[in-house]
Amino acid sequence: MLKGLDPAVPAALVLMFVFVAVRCGGSREPDFPPPPETRTEPVTETLHGEEITDPYRWLEDQDSPETRAFIAAQNAYTDQLLGNRPGREELREGLEKLLKVDVMGVPTEHGGRYFYSRRGADQDQPVIWVREGRDGAERVLLDPAEFSEDGSKAVSLEDISRDGKLVAYSIRSGGEDEVEIRFRNVASGKDLPDVLPRRRYFGIALLEKLHAYAYTEYGPQGPRLFLRRLGEKKARKLFGDGYGPEKIIYAREGEDGRWLVIHVLEGSAGRKTEVWLHDLEGRGAPRPVTTEIEATFSGQVAGGRLYLETNWQAPNGRVMVADAARPAVEGWRELIPERENAALQGFSLAGGRIYANYLENVQSHVIGYDPSGRQVDEIAVETIGTIGGMRGRWDSDEAFYTFSSFHVPTRIYRYDLTAGKRELWFAPEVPIDPDRFAVEQVRFTSKDGTEVPMFIVHRKGWEPDGDTPTLLYGYGGFRVSVLPRFSAVGATFVDRGGVYAVANLRGGGEFGEPWHQAGMLANKQHTFDDFIAAAEWLIAQRYTNPRRLAIYGGSNGGLLVGAAMTQRPDLFQAVVCAYPLLDMLRYDKFLVGRYWVPEYGTADDPEQFKWLRAYSPYHNVREGVDYPAVLFVTGDGDTRVAPLHARKMAALMQAKSALRRPVMLRYHEDEGHAGGTPLSQQIEDATELLTFLSWQLGMP
């Protein structure tokens, strides 16, 4: 529902947007009112010899009174169409049963204390708890209610000292990427005077031996790594001069407290990572480990050794090892070789072992190796699903991990590293019967002949009939692997008789770096082709038909569904496009968009302009086309992907579409990209999404 109108917005402007109607194209009369009319103010510029006209450039000004009036009018229109639709309350009640349950985060042990998050069924935000010993008394350490009565602020642990006596934590408002960082004494429950003001930070490392902390702050010139002693107001710049705002720098302390491992990334998923080591017991500057090799690296230190996960000369990933005191490339040794049919997704250090997390045909496998590289352990998976969150200490005999699947809510297991046995630590009491669901994995052929996998979830006993409501989800970018995980939206959709499909598109990391590179830069169209081929396969195999097929994606997935609906509007009945990138000729001009240039390219480059212009959804909306019904979702709190993309695209599609199906914008004034949304609002958002899909797909 509408979340409150800014009193500064002139009422006349709101009325203008709400009550001025537009004509609907086509011969069939729609069964919904027309959207608000939005004025155009064309801005034309020439890019590499082509004239590009933007009729809604004025909507890029987020704070102007006219833009705020546009937002209010769009929210009012969405309320009008979805607010009182039949079945909405029933959907909300069902989602409340799935989501209003106790949930818990993966514990981590420091100094004999166990730290974890927990949200009660009646709470809007998770609370941070600490337990004295594995079976000892527990108490609240951090309650977000301390910082906001309305549940709009969330708290997260950023780091814990190795002795468990001090925590660094962040306070986030409305899903923003920017946070405030504070420090709390665990024994007393009191905060230290040290405070890092609301900024964009890339992690923080508590340095117990130095009574200090290291943190990376993003500034106008780029990220810089600072070191500050507890109780002191002045920080010392440790690293970062010369790196521009397109770089990401983060650091983490090694297990022995001596080494600080520094990473420099070329954007969010670039092809190159620099690694530096800083000796916290010495007086010198950070030393380079690798700065010239064009490959990705992720380093951790334990037992005096530097462990490096990399795709250097190993597209599926491998782990190298070196002496932390002499980390030059010539001293590296391969510890865990590349596996031919499995992509390395990361590694953890626990119990003196290296646990490597692999995907083999998008199925989780976790294998443990000793420091010599010999396999000594393997964690089994009982069904299609995902192992995650493997967390332990190098000198401990236990670790914790999660398991989840489409039909299995996330469970936490404690793993005895010595005995090789697991025990259930926590399982939410979600009223869902996994035996009612069937999960299958299929493969379809994309436009260029590439085989692409897809998971399909439906009720047991269901048979394809060519007319089942189907929701297709995808992402396909930034080396992100889309894995079987529990989703209240997906489970509800299937429980109501639908089919839920998740495609593992090129651009992701499911099959290593080659799969990623096959869906980035000049190859980005492959991602869209894969998604379109998934839809065509579902139709050809009689799972559904175009009038009963919806697609859903957010962030980079918002770009995906935006491209799919502009390239093949005939395939889909409905589209949910959340927090999207859509104007691909200007995306890198806003917020942190320059981080994504290694993934997409930039229109400033003549060659890259060609492929961006070819698929940019905002520049490929055609007059009078019968586009699918669309629900755009964004909000002011998104300080990562500029909300202007959804504002402009909603206005453009409302003006150009034949409007036989509705085009709506839900604009939140206090939600964003980085999470932290209160549970009550999560339920409201999911209710609205399913209400929209049920309406458009003809679900009961």
Cβ–Cβ under 8 Å, residues 453 and 482: no
Q: Report pLDDT digits (tens) over 639-649.
A: 899 999 999 99
- Mean pLDDT throughout 442-448? 98
Residue 669 — pLDDT band, cuts 50, 70, 90? Answer: confident
The per-residue pLDDT for 17 is 39
Q: Which carries the bigger pLDDT value, residue 5 or residue 543?
A: 543
Q: Report pLDDT digits (tens) over 102-127.
A: 999 999 999 999 999 999 999 999 99
* Long-range contact pairs involving 679-686 (C-beta distance under 8 Å, separation at least 24): 679/99, 679/100, 679/119, 679/123, 679/124, 679/125, 680/124, 680/151, 682/99, 683/92, 683/95, 683/96, 683/99, 683/100, 684/1, 684/92, 685/633, 686/95, 686/99, 686/488, 686/489, 686/492
The per-residue pLDDT for 9 is 35
How far apart are alpha carbons 621 and 156 in whole angstroms? 41
Residue 23 — pLDDT band, cuts 50, 70, 90? Answer: very low
Query: Which tokens hold the place of 509?
Result: 């990391």
CATH, domain 438-544, list 3.40.50.1820, 3.40.50.300, 3.30.420.40, 3.20.20.80: 3.40.50.1820
Is a pLDDT exceeding 90 seen at residue 16?
no
Domain segments of the chain as ranges? 200-300, 344-429, 438-544
Q: For residue 135, give every residue at least 6 positions away whose Cβ sits within 8 Å of its Cβ, in sequence order, or none.
A: none
Q: Report pLDDT digits (tens) over 481-538.
A: 999 999 999 999 999 999 999 999 999 999 999 999 999 999 999 999 999 999 999 9
- Which CATH superfamily groups domain 200-300? TolB, C-terminal domain (2.120.10.30)
Vertex 634, ends 629 and 639: CA angle to 5°? 155
Residues with catalytic roles: 555, 673
Is a pLDDT exceeding 60 seen at residue 14?
no
- Mean pLDDT throughout 687-696? 98
Which SS3 state, helix, strand or coil, does residue 167 take? strand
- Mean pLDDT throughout 664-678? 78
The per-residue pLDDT for 677 is 84
Helix (H) or strand (E) holding 536: helix 524-540
Is a pLDDT exceeding 70 seen at residue 150?
yes
Residue 700 — pLDDT band, cuts 50, 70, 90? Answer: confident
The per-residue pLDDT for 28 is 52
Whole-Å CA distances, 337 to 3, 340, 348, 673: 53, 9, 16, 36
- Mean pLDDT throughout 622-651? 96
The per-residue pLDDT for 7 is 31
The per-residue pLDDT for 148 is 86
How far apart are alpha carbons 348 and 595 in whole angstroms? 26
The per-residue pLDDT for 673 is 55
Q: For residue 506, give every residue at least 6 positions away whose Cβ sits within 8 Å of its Cβ, in sequence order, or none.
A: 446, 450, 452, 476, 515, 516, 518, 519, 523, 526, 527, 530
How far apart are alpha carbons 568 and 271 in whole angstroms? 31
The per-residue pLDDT for 30 is 79
Query: Which tokens hold the place of 372?
Result: 């010599």
Which SS3 state, helix, strand or coil, does residue 97 take? helix
Is a pLDDT exceeding 50 seen at residue 27?
no
Q: Report pLDDT digits (tens) over 64-83.
A: 999 999 999 999 999 999 99
Helix 644-656 to helix 65-82 angle (10° resolution) is: 60
CA-closest candidate to residue 603, choices 588, 618, 615: 588
Query: Which tokens hold the place of 573?
Result: 């009945």
The per-residue pLDDT for 249 is 97
The per-residue pLDDT for 637 is 86
> What's 534's DSSP letter?
H
Residue 282 — pLDDT band, cuts 50, 70, 90? Answer: confident
Q: Report pLDDT digits (tens) over 168-192.
A: 999 998 778 899 999 999 999 999 9
Range in 26-35, 73-82, 217-226, 497-506 the model is least confident about: 26-35
Cβ–Cβ under 8 Å, residues 572 and 549: yes
Q: Report pLDDT digits (tens) over 255-280.
A: 989 999 999 999 888 899 999 999 99
Range in 398-407, 467-476, 580-589, 674-683 the model is least confident about: 674-683
For the chain, the average pLDDT equals: 93
Q: Report pLDDT digits (tens) over 345-389.
A: 999 999 999 999 999 999 999 999 999 999 999 997 878 999 997
